[in-house]
Each structure stands twice: as structure tokens, then as C-alpha cells.
Structure 1
């Protein structure tokens, strides 16, 4: 299993990394442009990510924008939806608009509201059949 953490808060990234390393390889970036670069690089190497934990509120490029670009890249690769990377949005935003945008526009797989706890990460991955 290969994970990408996209999180600009070091404490949030540490928690995710501690849990995810039990299940596979973990890469980490702290902004949207870094996420796109990591996503493209993983495909170039022939080892795409299985799961991306994507913060929404980041400088330069927010998580919704990143997810839109990722889905565009997957369409360009002609991937069927079933093979798209699972993306779990992580955010302090619990608004209906943000949740709707994540699921309906970006086809996010999951949505975790901060503060995030270890058990909520595990439960979300179980719910999605990741572990």
C-alpha cells in the first residue's frame, strides 16, 4: 500500500504518518503543488498512490483544487473510476458546501473533520476497504 499525506500542519502530518506507516509506504508534502508533483511522479515511476490524505485549507492551492487536478490527470490516463486513487479529505471545515464539493465535484472517497484521532483514521480506512 502506498500513501501520500498532503498536510501543511506538522502535527497533523505526524499523526497520519505514525498510523499509516503500519500499513505501507508513506510520502508527505505540505502544499498543493507538491501534491500534484508527487502524484505525477508516482505515476511516472509506475507506483501510483493507493490513498491520498488531502488537507483542504492550504496556502497557494486548496485541497479541492488539488483533487480536481488529480481527477483530470486520471481522466487523461483513461482510468476507470474503480482504479482512481482513494482520496480522504482532512479539514476543519464541516460545512455542507465543503463536504458536497469534496464528494460530488471531486469524487472524494472519505472526509475527516479535524481534530483527527487515530481511531477515526483507522475507521475511515476500514469503511473504505483500504485495510
Structure 2
């Protein structure tokens, strides 16, 4: 399975990659725009990602906008219902407005607060049904 980590903080990218690489082939992007491009290329190469861990607050393009763009790419490319990428949003914010927006506007599948930890990551993977 393939995972895309979209995170502007290098330390968070490293932690996520270390934990996720136990079960996923991982790629990473430093901002939402780069993440959308990588997602688009993976779809075109017919090697779509199964999972995205994406920070909500990033420079260039925030996680909300990036996830919206990714969901639009899935629609445009006629990704079957149920085969969409599982999106886990991460944030240092305890701001319910951003979390609510991530779920409803961006169609996120799960959410974790920073700092990320093995336990939080594994719980999110269980929540999106990618591990038991």
C-alpha cells in the first residue's frame, strides 16, 4: 500500500514516515500544492495512494484546499466510490472550526492532533480501516 505525507514540518514528516513505512510505501510533500501534484501524478500513473496524512495549516496551499483539490481529482478521474484515498488530517490546533471544515468540506476520514505519536497514528489507521 502507498501513503502520501503532506506536512511542512520536517520533524513531523520524519516521524510519520518512520511509523507509516512499517506498513506503507511512503512519499512526502512539503506543502499542499506539491501534495496535490504528487497525488495527480500517482493517479495518472495508475498507482494511486491508499492513504494521505495531511497537515491542515501549511504555506503555499493549506491542507483544506489540498484535500478539496484531491477529492475533485478523484471525481474527475472517476475513482469508484469506496476506492477514494483515506485522508487523515493533522493539526496543532484544537480549533473545532478547522476540524469540522476538514471533515465536511474536505471529506477527511480521520483527524489527529499534534504532536503525532505511534499510538495516535495507529488509532487513525484503525479508524479508516487500513489496519486491524
Shorter chain as normaliser: what TM range? over 0.9
- SS of 2:4 mapped into structure 1: strand
CA distance in 2, matches of 1:75, 1:128: 20
Cα distance, 1:80 vs structure 2: 3.4
**Divergent runs of 4+, >6 A:** none
Q: Superposition pairs for residues 61-100 of structure 1, below 5 Å?
A: 61-100=61-100
Q: Tell me, yes or no, if structure 1 residue 2 matches structure 2 residue 10.
A: no
Give aligned pairs, total. 131
Unaligned runs of 5+ in 2: none
- SS of 2:82 mapped into structure 1: helix
Unaligned runs of 5+ in 1: none
For residues 109-128 of structure 1, what are the alpha-carbon distances to aligned partners after superposition, in whole Å with 9 as ceiling and x for unaligned? 11011111111101110122
Q: Judge conservation of contact 2:110–2:127 (CA < 8 Å) in 1.
A: no
For residues 71-95 of structure 1, what are the alpha-carbon distances to aligned partners after superposition, in whole Å with 9 as ceiling and x for unaligned? 1111111223311110000111221
CA RMSD of aligned residues (A): 1.0
> Which piece of structure 1 moves more, 75-84 or 106-115?
75-84
CA distance in 2, matches of 1:33, 1:81: 24
TM-score when normalising by structure 2: 0.95
